[in-house]
Amino acid sequence: QEISDTKFGKGMFNFTAKDSSFSVNFAPRIQFRSMTTWNYDGENFGNPEQNFLIRRARLKFKGFAYSPKLQYKIELGLSNRDISGANQFTGNAPRFILDAVVMWNFYENFELWVGQTKLPGNIERVISSGNLEFIDRSILNSHFNLDRDVGFQLRHLIHWGGDFYTREKFAFSQGEGRNITTGNLGGFEYTGRLELLPFGEFEHGGDYSSADLVREETPKLMMGFTYDFNDNAVKTRGNQGSYMFLSNNDLYQTDITTTFLDAMFKYEGFSLMTEYAHRNAKEPVAMQQGESTPTGDIVLEGNAFNIQAGYVFPSNYQIAARYTENSYANVTGEADRNEYTLGLSKYIVGHKLKVQTDFNYDTLGGIQDEISWRLGFDLHF
Amino acid sequence: QEISDTKFGKGMFNFTAKDSSFSVNFAPRIQFRSMTTWNYDGENFGNPEQNFLIRRARLKFKGFAYSPKLQYKIELGLSNRDISGANQFTGNAPRFILDAVVMWNFYENFELWVGQTKLPGNIERVISSGNLEFIDRSILNSHFNLDRDVGFQLRHLIHWGGDFYTREKFAFSQGEGRNITTGNLGGFEYTGRLELLPFGEFEHGGDYSSADLVREETPKLMMGFTYDFNDNAVKTRGNQGSYMFLSNNDLYQTDITTTFLDAMFKYEGFSLMTEYAHRNAKEPVAMQQGESTPTGDIVLEGNAFNIQAGYVFPSNYQIAARYTENSYANVTGEADRNEYTLGLSKYIVGHKLKVQTDFNYDTLGGIQDEISWRLGFDLHF
Amino acid sequence: QEISDTKFGKGMFNFTAKDSSFSVNFAPRIQFRSMTTWNYDGENFGNPEQNFLIRRARLKFKGFAYSPKLQYKIELGLSNRDISGANQFTGNAPRFILDAVVMWNFYENFELWVGQTKLPGNIERVISSGNLEFIDRSILNSHFNLDRDVGFQLRHLIHWGGDFYTREKFAFSQGEGRNITTGNLGGFEYTGRLELLPFGEFEHGGDYSSADLVREETPKLMMGFTYDFNDNAVKTRGNQGSYMFLSNNDLYQTDITTTFLDAMFKYEGFSLMTEYAHRNAKEPVAMQQGESTPTGDIVLEGNAFNIQAGYVFPSNYQIAARYTENSYANVTGEADRNEYTLGLSKYIVGHKLKVQTDFNYDTLGGIQDEISWRLGFDLHF
């Protein structure tokens, strides 16, 4: 048996080549959860439904190769929830690869990213699922996020002087989501995001990690705005959702625009994150080719608002609350959904070893719909 | 190139963090086999059928995280035989994860296990497939074992004085088997197991490893009794077997009880393992809802007996023999199956590098059914 | 964080046990590509189709176990293109395992290989997809190669004196391709290959790596001849292609013979590779059992020729050109296809970190068919 200089939570393997020709941080991760749900049948909440689940099991590789200016990230999903989604567009094969991307710092503050990874969408999505303050993300995120795609990204940082920074992120991608083997359908996807950091950068990248575990000594704020255009999208949520098939097996195409406005604030253990999302389409109602007959598929137009706040006690217990409302356009025929969440977390070793629980109360079209209680842990090397 | 202090058979990577914050034993493993089968057509044994197969290819991580009191195990299956079984209840995705479990020694001799792993069922099942004395397990195991499930286990050890120990194991699990994404159907599964070790603990955990490779200097015995109750099970073998669908696509539910009595004995290279299994259901014949029409599915009720013995020569060659009989309840309409196996193994580096062969003769309903010859190797870091 | 003695391109982990009981070279690899295709519609080349793709993402383990005379290789594919192909013969599960093989140098220059790996077919196929001088292999390879299979191989090297060497390779395999769980259908596959090395062995195994990156100081040549017989094959290209089903769900069987003649030459940065392939079947047109009705499946009989040459400049830029023609037998009803390729590569760290682009012009039945432009990179630890 050998001895390693790595510590728990810094990767299972974490080393740099002596000649500085590469570095590796390899980390597996598992997330277990139990979920109990009571559905409202119009008069009462019924008997609970139970679900025990290995929700996530992942292998992550990151570091640099050849030069510290060329970074890479490979993340593989192994749990059935992560790899599901096989269809004719994925070679009828499960979707293992989450990220496979290289990030090249080719000039000063510029980075070119090539491969498959998350688009620069809403902050909640880009925060790793391992760094959340609730058991899982909000319903805003479930229905409006931009997820991952394959293509190119250009990223830039400007220091305007003092504590003021901005980050500019642009993506040019296929627009079909991850692990697609059949190429582009319709047009490409174009994403732009601007981030303002008026009070300086967060400690340890804390703007993209929930809960103020580092207890920022001065207030830190990040405000972001994302604009995304999916040219001739073929799915109901852009690169996500269901394929909008026509009766002749072609795909209905329409331009879909998604915008986000979001912010993260952290100070002395307190954190506040808020997001507004909006999606609209040029022609949201899918029609049979050359006809005025609707196919039944409709782009999920609408807007959503999410706000969540938490406080981490010096004991590394955190209480957090969240309110989310999803309002869909009338054309979708979808009822609005609101969710109220109350969460408690014990961060034993930060986000790397934690136990979390949360309670959720949902309304649908203004009427009570379901209550759920979740309990889980994360083990992340 | 670097130098490692690890030896072959102790993991490919095997280290502890200098600050004792975690440890890792990572080991890949492959198992190749050739199988030749002659089927009896009522008059003769026909031409042989051949199968060359990578039967198992696995990646295993185990060790402790944060504290030696918090152990983990992650085992991933990669071979097509291991990952098959995708259906609507697994997200239509293959089943990669075998084990993903943390084991917390929270107090004295108590351990709490959370996640997906093997239930405390019959000894033959719980012995790793890498530590068998034949090419594969018996037909008792194929048709009666409790396999893996997701949930909670409580484990305890009592030292009664002298060489007398007992182990108590309890599991509370979902009852649907591994890698299920759709949650619990019917009720939960409850498993209890008691193990008696009247002559002390086996060397190197030898009670859960076939063949007495350590050549126990004094006789060692482990006797176990398992009781398992699957409340409102929906599959023909509890959490295993086929789903018992009704014509309306609901699932037939009935309580299934499985019990095992088993023992392992080892002394100076000799080993003997024996098991008795019994399964019965409250209402074994699946009926359409509200009707007396059978659906065609029947719980595989019955009992089985297995006995196997082997002797390891000082040269690390082993000869072993096995006799198994599976007797099904009349209601199942299944003919009884007996199997006679003769095996030869050469343990080059224990179970980590070995070549094995075995001959099997099967009868079905008392009549000769098939002969098979298997040859294989295991490479396990 | 630790320090490693490994260098980029020599494996992410690369070490030998202090007691020489095993060694490991573990390397992940990703390959991204963009492909733009213009199809000819009879009058014009239409609008381009686009495809951004993680074409390959792999994990490789190799080294020796127990003794330097017992080597192993495990290679896993993760990309959707690599793992697709699930069907009833693969347990309806994706095909993760590429290689899982042990190679035993049991006597002098003899090696016995057992497991799943590439057959000793045409040189282009056996060169790793990570060591190509174009973005991907030729159409000769796509339609005529022997791919991987599971079984046994015997390999031998003779040094005839001076610089003259020959290699003899024999394979006895199942003949159904990789990751099959249902065993042999029809008969086995028998492969023999003879390789002549009249001017000595290539530096660093360069005969099985495209592009003369080591700039051979003296001319090096390898000439190979492969003969492959697939007894009672059930697929249109032997162990590859489509299954030839009969209307009663049995499989049509016929003997398929494939031969290759190929050569690799390298000298001072220049490399030339050429291949001739031929496939024929005993009864190429699949017929319904006991009838003269064709099923529609026809073995892809024909022959093909490929020649490609490249020159690596001292700056590690390479230009390369390729010409391929596939001519199918009349019985197949397939039109002949020719492909002209022009490629440019920048080998930043040899084949381990490279950027490549190529242009392809295809004709079908002598008429222009499509133009494609590809751009990609490889990152291989």
Please judge whether C1 and A4 are an interchain contact, meaning their C-beta atoms are less than 8 angstroms apart: no
Out of C8, C84, C86, name the one closest to residue A17 (CB).
C8
Residue C7 to residue A13, Cβ atoms within 8 A: no
Chain B contacts to A (CB-CB under 8 A): 4-6, 10, 13-19, 21-22, 24, 61, 65-66, 70, 72, 74, 76, 90-97, 100, 102, 114-116, 150-151, 173-174, 179-184, 188
User: Domain spans of chain C?
Assistant: 13-380
- Whole-number pLDDT of residue A290: 85
Q: Do B50 and C188 touch (CB under 8 A)?
A: yes
Q: Phi first, then psi: what are they for B341, rounded to 5°?
A: -130, 140
Cβ-Cβ contacts under 8 Å, C78 against chain A: 76, 96-97
Contact between A102 and C379 using a beta-carbon 8 Å cutoff: yes
Say yes or no for a CB contact (<8 Å) between C81 and A181: yes
User: How far is A127 from A121, CA to CA, in rounded Å?
Assistant: 10
Residues A190 and A119: their CA atoms lie apart, in Å, by 10
Tell me whether residues B100 and A32 touch, CB distance under 8 A.
Answer: yes
Q: Assign A42 a pLDDT band (cuts: 50, 70, 90).
A: confident
Question: Best of A5, A21, A98 to disrupt the C interface by mutation (most C CBs within 10 Å)?
Answer: A21
Read off the pLDDT of residues A80-110 as tens digits, 9 standing for 90 and up. 999 999 999 999 999 999 999 999 999 999 9
Q: Among residues C135, C137, C140, C209, which one has the least CA distance to residue C358?
A: C135
8 A C-beta contact, residue B149 and residue B181: no
Question: How close does chain A come to C317, measured CA to CA in Å?
Answer: 17
C291 has pLDDT over 90: no
Check: CB of residue B288 under 8 Å from CB of residue B174: no
**Residue A331, phi then psi, degrees to nearest 5:** -60, -25
Chain B CB contacts of A349 under 8 Å are 66
Which tens digits make up the pLDDT trace of C25-46?
999 999 999 999 999 988 899 8
pLDDT for position C42: 86
The answer to whether B17 contacts A6, with C-beta atoms less than 8 Å apart, is yes
Question: Three-class SS of residue C117?
Answer: strand
* Cα–Cα distance for residue pair C150/A333, rounded to 1 Å: 54
Residue of A nearest to C2 (CA): A15
Residues A19-38: tens digit of each pLDDT: 999 999 999 999 999 999 99
Beta pairing, strands C148-161 & C164-173: antiparallel
> Which of B6, B61, B74 to probe by mutation at the A interface, max A CB count within 10 Å?
B74
CA distance C39 to chain A (A): 15
Give which of A327, A322, A319, A310 is closest to A361, Cα–Cα.
Answer: A322
Residue C40 burial by Cβ neighbours in a 10 Å radius (0-12, 13-18, 19+): middle
3-state helix, strand, coil in chain C (%, to 5): 10, 60, 30
Torsions phi, psi for C314 (to 5 deg): -55, -25
Query: Would you call C86 and A102 a contact, using CB atoms and an 8 Å cutoff?
Result: no
Distance CA B357, CA B137 (A): 13
Strands A367-380 and A23-39: antiparallel
Judge whether residue B112 has pLDDT over 90. yes
Q: Which two tokens stand for residue A278?
A: 């909006």
Q: Which of A2, A50, A52 sits opposite B15 (nearest CB)?
A: A2
**Separation of alpha carbons A55 and A78, rounded Å:** 9
Q: How far off is chain B from C50, nearest CA to CA, in Å?
A: 28
Of C22, C90, C114, Cβ closest to residue B32: C114
Assess whether pLDDT exceeds 90 at residue C1. Answer: no
Tell me how close the Cα of B356 comes to any Cα of chain C, in angstroms.
14
Per CB distance under 8 Å, which residues of A are interface residues toward C? 4-6, 10, 13-19, 21-22, 24, 61, 65-66, 70, 72, 74, 76, 90-97, 100, 102, 114-116, 150-151, 173-174, 179-184, 188
pLDDT grade for B325, boundaries at 50, 70 and 90: very high
* 3-state DSSP of B201-221: CCHHHHHHCCCCCCCCCCCEE
Shortest Cα distance from A376 to chain B (angstroms)?
10
What is the value of ipTM here, to two decimals? 0.96
pLDDT digits (tens, 9 = 90+) for C137-149: 999 999 999 999 9
In the predicted structure, residue C48 carries a pLDDT above the cut 90: yes
Q: How far is CA A377 from CA A209, A271, A345, B304, in A?
A: 17, 21, 9, 39
- Compute the radius of gyration of chain C from its Cα atoms: 21
Q: What is the pLDDT of residues C231-275, one digit of tens each?
A: 999 999 999 999 999 999 999 999 999 999 999 999 999 999 999
**pLDDT tens figures, A233-249:** 999 999 999 999 999 99
Classify the C-alpha dihedral A80-A86-A91-A97 as positive or negative. Answer: negative
Fold category of C13-380 in CATH:
Porin (2.40.160)
Give one word for A126, left, alpha or beta, with left for phi > 0 and alpha for psi -120 to 50: alpha
Task: State mean pLDDT over B161-181.
Answer: 97
Q: Which helix (H) or strand (E) holds A234?
A: none
Give me the DSSP letters along C316-376: SEEEEEEEEEEEE-GGGTPPPEEEEEEEEEEEEEEETEEEEEEEEEEEETTEEEEEEEEEE
Residues of A in contact with B94 (CB under 8 A): 83, 94
Whole-number average pLDDT of chain C:
97
Band of residue B290 on the pLDDT scale cut at 50, 70, 90? confident
Domain B106-380 classified CATH 2.40.160.10? yes
CA A354 – CA A379 distance, rounded (Å): 7
Pairing of strands C240-243, C254-267: unpaired
Looking at chain B, the whole-number percentage of residues with pLDDT higher than 90 is 96
- Return the closest-CA partner of residue A288 out of A255, A256, A251: A251
Dist CA C252 CA A350 (whole Å): 61
- Which residues in chain B are contacts of C76 at CB distance < 8 A? 78
| Euclidean distance between CA atoms B124 and B146, whole angstroms | 11
Q: Which amino acid is at B380?
A: H
Which one of C49, C80, C349 has the shortest CB-CB distance to A91?
A: C80
Which of B18, B30, B381 has the most C C-beta neighbours within 10 Å, making it the best mutation to test the interface with C? B30
Residues of C in contact with B1 (CB under 8 A): 5-6, 10, 14-16
Give all chains having 3 or more CB-to-CB distances under 8 Å with chain C: A, B
In angstroms, rounded to a whole number, what is the distance separating the alpha carbons of residues A66 and A106?
A: 13
Q: Which residue of C has its CA nearest to A17?
A: C4
- Phi then psi for residue C132, to 5 deg, are -90, 155
Half-sphere exposure of C153 (CA within 13 A, CB side): 26
Q: How far is C179 from chain B (nearest CA, A)?
A: 6
CA-nearest residue of chain A to B93?
A84
- Best residue in C54, C55, C58 for a mutation probing chain A (most A CBs within 10 Å): C54
Fold of the A30-57+123-150+180-195+206-380 domain: Porin (2.40.160)
Task: Say how many CB pairs under 8 Å bridge A and C.
Answer: 122
Residues of C in Cβ contact (< 8 Å) with A182: 51
Chains that touch A (3 or more CB pairs under 8 A): B, C
Check: CB of residue A111 under 8 Å from CB of residue A210: no
The candidate with the shortest Cα–Cα distance to C144, out of C260, C307, C264, C298, is C260
The shortest CB-CB distance from B86 to any of C93, C179, C181 is to: C93
